[in-house]
Chain A
């Protein structure tokens, strides 16, 4: 028996300024950026204070919909539940459905809000500069304190919510984590381990500690002369780094047999997946793009397709010099002259780089393009000043039916991963 077919039947997301996938898709389609000046970054006097962040109004809406129990949920879990509900609703599933068949939750994540934790712990420093544990514990007797949280807290929360008994895993693979979580769920269904999965990623990293860190690596855009919404400029000659973002996205995957049994309407399909360790350098890829190309080719081969069957590429496109150049060179190696008939997009131009969540957000936007036959523009892109003008990055929304999308995620540490998504 060959591998089983894997269908997408639902999705959900929260992105900066958008509380659902339709809003985000329409917003990018209308060329409205989700990137704004981050008030904390501005207050701290950062040279460039742009970020794609979930604002207090959004948090209020999220909190209002997700009922809290005795202990307030940490933000990662709140966000995860909010997005999971959207995905389940679209798929026509209820929580109990996950208990009836072998099922799983696969979520990517990198870390929790360490910034808040540091501030909280710092309140209990004594005169000599050590944290007074007794005083800390006197004030943190309940679960939910800064140190009570684990990196997999949102996976755990969703697994409890859905009553998952078979598979729960948390994938910590830097900027590729979301794509890898979807890939792992795809493989688990394909080989028959489970019938139903909720997969994606949650990331809340648009805070000052992440900024310090990535700025230290020279990865953040420092163009104070540009407005916040203009700072993420993938594949442009004048690009100079990424803009921090955050968000969450999840998709429902199920075997074709399971979807047909319950008469679900498929939205799309996961056709193929590949993931490789580059081990070139922690913060950059091979200059010639050969490792990215290897990963992209393997994903297309895994889908059982030839390269000319891919119509559209949702690039990793971070807007850093190194990534975008390597990815463009890799695209040329994989598709050759085929790029002439293809289209490309870089969603990070509109939403920033939400690290672990980026691959999941981009997978949802790719599925919507497949479903609606609408291709999204890349903001701040101008072919006249692009480094690789031969790549047809759209500057306006375009109506065009497509059958297969390649979605790339390449993480720090050399974690390369590519998904091939298809029409239902």
Chain B
């Protein structure tokens, strides 16, 4: 985010779906023990069941045609259909951005292997034609987004992002830019975690850099609604006050990149870290303590309630920030295993009384 003058952008609605529940308030509930994965008992996770899609929003047949990851994403999108509808905007003014890096990735590939194993005598072409997981395998990210766009009437700018767990940052920033630069009046941002399949486990055990400790996986999704206007009701509004992203493949340079990302994020509001009241970051964020030495801010994370939600982690935390409405500035940090850094600054502001 550079210093040019643009329209303000507000967060006005959010939804989540994860092991803690389907409401943001559930993320403040009782911590539950993570469960061992059946295919890898030494690996703990917070799985979810496939949600039922709201039939008031989505065609019934969609439930059968999407794999679990897509269903989670659609469920969350469905929850913000009503507040989006209340805005009464023409579809051309509603942007849709998605962070779904795994739809075409190993999860669906694994399902294809399983499906072939279950029906070894079936011709591959027939499997592709009639087996839902395989249908999902070969369909593109944009097909899941098309379901959202059709149901929520999003006909504005559209984009799908796949930069691993930083994809949520990319999707949020893109939606912000479209609104701030006047190409849209509202933006729907959706995200989904990978499915807990053996493929995810296999990838994490073979990918470099190796993890210091096994990750506790999570399954979930989130959706946010951004607008150019503050909420019509209420006395407070949550504004996106800054953001930045950076990248370093070299661990030795990662700290410097992270500091620059934080500095850029705070710069538009001319803030220092001391001005930030709340910081949201996963506990395993590299050199977190070092990055935050200049602040007395309260550190938050709902990772212990959900497990690692991958591309959906940041949007889930933002949804919780909207629910919690902490006073002052909240800085959210995001780091991917392969070196992406992202940061978002939220400002909770009192609204001027209407005349």
* Also in contact, A129 and B118, with CB within 8 A (given A118-B109, A143-B206, A173-B160): yes
Residue B213 is within 8 A (CB to CB) of chain A in the complex: no
- What residue in chain A is nearest B203 (Cβ atoms)? A147
| Bound CA span A415–B98, Å | 13
Most buried by A among B39, B105, B114, B163: B163
Residue A313 is within 8 A (CB to CB) of chain B in the complex: no
* Also in contact, A277 and B125, with CB within 8 A (given A125-B117, A136-B202, A147-B203): no
What distance in Å separates the Cβ of B138 from its nearest Cβ neighbour in chain A?
A: 3
Q: Are B202 and A114 in contact (CB under 8 A)?
A: no
* Also in contact, A147 and B199, with CB within 8 A (given A152-B101, A165-B257, A192-B4): yes
Q: Provide the residues of chain B in CB contact with A147, threshold 8 Å.
A: 106, 109-110, 199, 202-203, 206
| Bound CA span A140–B156, Å | 44
Q: Are B154 and A277 in contact (CB under 8 A)?
A: yes
> Which segment of B70-78, B145-153, B233-241 sits at the interface?
B145-153
- What residue in chain B is nearest A143 (Cβ atoms)? B208
Q: Are A169 and B140 in contact (CB under 8 A)?
A: no
Residue B129 is within 8 A (CB to CB) of chain A in the complex: yes
Give the size category of B's interface with A. Answer: 35 or more
Q: Are A277 and B206 in contact (CB under 8 A)?
A: no
Q: Are B116 and A174 in contact (CB under 8 A)?
A: no
| Bound CA span A414–B150, Å | 10
Residue A164 is within 8 A (CB to CB) of chain B in the complex: yes
Q: Provide the residues of chain B in CB contact with A215, threshold 8 Å.
A: 125
- What residue in chain B is nearest A170 (Cβ atoms)? B162
Q: Provide the residues of chain A in CB contact with B149, threshold 8 Å.
A: 277-279, 413-414
Residue A13 is within 8 A (CB to CB) of chain B in the complex: no
The contact string, 1 if C-beta is below 8 Å from chain A, for chain B 115-154, is 0111010001100110000000111111111100110011
Q: Are B92 and A174 in contact (CB under 8 A)?
A: no
Q: Provide the residues of chain A in CB contact with B156, threshold 8 Å.
A: 276-277
Q: Provide the residues of chain B in CB contact with A155, threshold 8 Å.
A: 163
- What residue in chain B is nearest A151 (Cβ atoms)? B162
| Bound CA span A212–B138, Å | 9
Residue B338 is within 8 A (CB to CB) of chain A in the complex: yes
* Also in contact, A148 and B207, with CB within 8 A (given A131-B198, A172-B140): yes
| Bound CA span A149–B142, Å | 21
| Bound CA span A164–B150, Å | 37
| Bound CA span A129–B120, Å | 8
> Which segment of B45-53, B246-254, B281-289 sits at the interface?
B246-254
List residues 83-109 of chain B with CB under 8 A from any CB of chain A. Answer: 91-92, 95-96, 100-106, 109
Q: Are B157 and A277 in contact (CB under 8 A)?
A: yes
Residue A411 is within 8 A (CB to CB) of chain B in the complex: yes
| Bound CA span A146–B138, Å | 17
**Which of B158, B247, B338 has a CB less than 8 Å from the CB of A173?**
B158
- What residue in chain A is nearest B199 (Cβ atoms)? A147
- What residue in chain A is nearest B128 (Cβ atoms)? A212
Residue B19 is within 8 A (CB to CB) of chain A in the complex: no
| Bound CA span A2–B103, Å | 38
Residue B40 is within 8 A (CB to CB) of chain A in the complex: yes
Residue A168 is within 8 A (CB to CB) of chain B in the complex: yes
Q: Are B117 and A173 in contact (CB under 8 A)?
A: no
Q: Are B249 and A415 in contact (CB under 8 A)?
A: no
- What residue in chain B is nearest A155 (Cβ atoms)? B163
Q: Are A169 and B170 in contact (CB under 8 A)?
A: yes
**Which of A109, A167, A413 has a CB less than 8 Å from the CB of B146?**
A413
What distance in Å separates the Cβ of A39 from its nearest Cβ neighbour in chain B?
A: 18
Q: Are B143 and A282 in contact (CB under 8 A)?
A: yes
Residue B161 is within 8 A (CB to CB) of chain A in the complex: yes
Q: Provide the residues of chain B in CB contact with A109, threshold 8 Å.
A: 162
* Also in contact, A277 and B145, with CB within 8 A (given A170-B163, A187-B177): yes
What distance in Å separates the Cβ of A31 from its nearest Cβ neighbour in chain B?
A: 32
Residue A150 is within 8 A (CB to CB) of chain B in the complex: yes
* Also in contact, A169 and B138, with CB within 8 A (given A114-B109, A122-B116, A277-B145): no
The contact string, 1 if C-beta is below 8 Å from chain B, for chain A 264-278, is 000000000001111
Q: Are B202 and A282 in contact (CB under 8 A)?
A: no
Q: Provide the residues of chain B in CB contact with A173, threshold 8 Å.
A: 141-142, 158-160
Residue A216 is within 8 A (CB to CB) of chain B in the complex: yes
| Bound CA span A159–B198, Å | 28
Q: Are B137 and A276 in contact (CB under 8 A)?
A: no
Residue B295 is within 8 A (CB to CB) of chain A in the complex: no
Residue B35 is within 8 A (CB to CB) of chain A in the complex: no
List residues 194-213 of chain B with CB under 8 A from any CB of chain A. Answer: 198-199, 201-203, 205-208
Q: Provide the residues of chain A in CB contact with B95, threshold 8 Å.
A: 277
What distance in Å separates the Cβ of A159 from its nearest Cβ neighbour in chain B?
A: 6
What distance in Å separates the Cβ of A117 from its nearest Cβ neighbour in chain B?
A: 5
- What residue in chain A is nearest B180 (Cβ atoms)? A191
Residue B308 is within 8 A (CB to CB) of chain A in the complex: no
- What residue in chain B is nearest A148 (Cβ atoms)? B206
Residue A145 is within 8 A (CB to CB) of chain B in the complex: yes
What distance in Å separates the Cβ of B220 from its nearest Cβ neighbour in chain A?
A: 19
| Bound CA span A101–B102, Å | 32
Residue A221 is within 8 A (CB to CB) of chain B in the complex: no
Q: Are B157 and A1 in contact (CB under 8 A)?
A: no
- What residue in chain B is nearest A413 (Cβ atoms)? B142
Residue B113 is within 8 A (CB to CB) of chain A in the complex: yes
Residue A258 is within 8 A (CB to CB) of chain B in the complex: no
Binding site for A on B (CB under 8 A): 2, 4, 39-40, 91-92, 95-96, 100-106, 109-110, 112-114, 116-118, 120, 124-125, 128-129, 137-146, 149-150, 153-164, 167, 170, 174, 177, 181, 198-199, 201-203, 205-208, 245-249, 253, 257, 260, 338, 340
A-B contact pairs, 24 of them (CB 8 A): A114-B112, A117-B106, A118-B116, A130-B114, A131-B113, A133-B201, A141-B206, A146-B109, A147-B206, A151-B105, A152-B164, A159-B249, A165-B246, A165-B253, A165-B257, A165-B260, A172-B100, A172-B103, A172-B104, A193-B2, A213-B128, A216-B128, A277-B95, A414-B142
Binding site for B on A (CB under 8 A): 1, 109-111, 114, 117-118, 121-122, 125, 129-131, 133, 136-137, 140-152, 155-156, 159-160, 164-174, 176, 180, 184, 187, 191-193, 208-210, 212-213, 215-216, 275-282, 291, 294, 411-415
Known: A208-B124, A414-B158; 11 extra A-B contacts, CB below 8 A, are: A114-B112, A121-B109, A125-B117, A129-B117, A148-B202, A155-B163, A172-B162, A173-B141, A191-B4, A281-B146, A412-B146
3 closest A-B pairs by beta carbon, nearest first, are A413-B142, A213-B138, A277-B158
